Structure 1
Amino acid sequence: MSDEQNLQRVADFFQAMTDRNFDYIESFLAPDHQFFFPLSPVPLNRDAHIGMNREFGVSIPDVTWQIDDQFVAGDKVVTRGSISGTHQGDFQGVPASGNAMNVKYINIVQLRDGLNINEWDSLDTLSFMQQLGAVPPPR
């Protein structure tokens, strides 16, 4: 696939997460997909990654994945943006707070034949957990 097609595939993936279009998400993740996420001590496989996206969509039903910048580096697409929404349901043991959240992220997707085989997320997890009310803010 061309660089432009890879950029579009990843942009469509972020839109699918905003829209909770799990058909697209499932079709985009390769069977041997691995997701490296700061809140998980081990990489998530395809099914666990889909499950986490489902949980996120229930916890923050108005979630929006904003893309601020994207570029291609070989077989990888790098995306910088923000995630925003309202914490309305339990998320990984953190009860609903009703708090608005907005967190910056950097994401790298490695593609093979147009499919996401590896994905790395880097986000401000401390700020995220503070905004959810799981960690007190600094004094």
Structure 2
Amino acid sequence: MNAGDRAALDRLHDAVSTGDPEAVAKTIDEVVDPEVLFHAPVPMGGTGVQALKQVWTVLLHAFPDLRVTVQDVIAEGDRVVSRNTVTGTHLGEYRGIAPTGASVTYDEIFVFRLAGGRIAEIWGVVDVHAQLRQLGVVPGAPA
């Protein structure tokens, strides 16, 4: 991974932790390829950067204090893997769930393919089960 690739990922992580959807959208425009291929377990209807922006709009509406803490970054060739811990407080509607005020903490792993210093493809594995369990939607004690 070259310095430009790492800088693109760092800028994206920094932007999403601001809680500002406009800053996130602006950063996405700057560091993500407009035709990015996005593979992740999130509800969305668009493609490319519009899909990615929609994901962050939904998440930041539901969890305005959302923070992504990068635990590990592993890079090889044009691929970068980021293992993250996500925290937030459920203060807005999410997946049809009215705000609960619950705090959530869950893990995610993303693989990014970079091309020309921009994120060209994203694969994501998000612990949605832990997220929904903490919101009281699925059975089980909160994590």
Given the two structures, how large is their TM-score scaled by the length of structure 1?
Answer: 0.88
Partner SS, residue 61 of structure 1? coil
Which deviates more from structure 2 when the two are superposed, residues 23-32 or residues 58-67? 23-32
Structure 1 residue aligned with 2:114: 111
Gaps of 5+ in 1: none
Which deviates more from structure 2 when the two are superposed, residues 37-46 or residues 97-106? 37-46
Change (3 A) 1:51 1:77: same
Which deviates more from structure 2 when the two are superposed, residues 56-65 or residues 5-14? 5-14
Pairing 1:41-56 to 2, within 5 Å after superposition: 44-56=47-59
Pairing 1:1-139 to 2, within 5 Å after superposition: 3-19=2-18, 20=20, 21=23, 22-40=25-43, 44-137=47-140
Structure 2 contact 31–119 (Cα < 8 Å) conserved: yes
Gaps of 5+ in 2: none
Given the two structures, how large is their TM-score scaled by the length of structure 2?
Answer: 0.86
Query: How far off its partner does 1:131 sit?
Result: 1.4
Aligned length: 137
CA distance in 2, matches of 1:45, 1:137: 36
Partner SS, residue 96 of structure 2? coil
CA distance in 1, matches of 2:92, 2:44: 23
Structure 1 contact 17–25 (Cα < 8 Å) conserved: no
Query: How far off its partner does 1:44 sit?
Result: 4.5
Identity %: 22
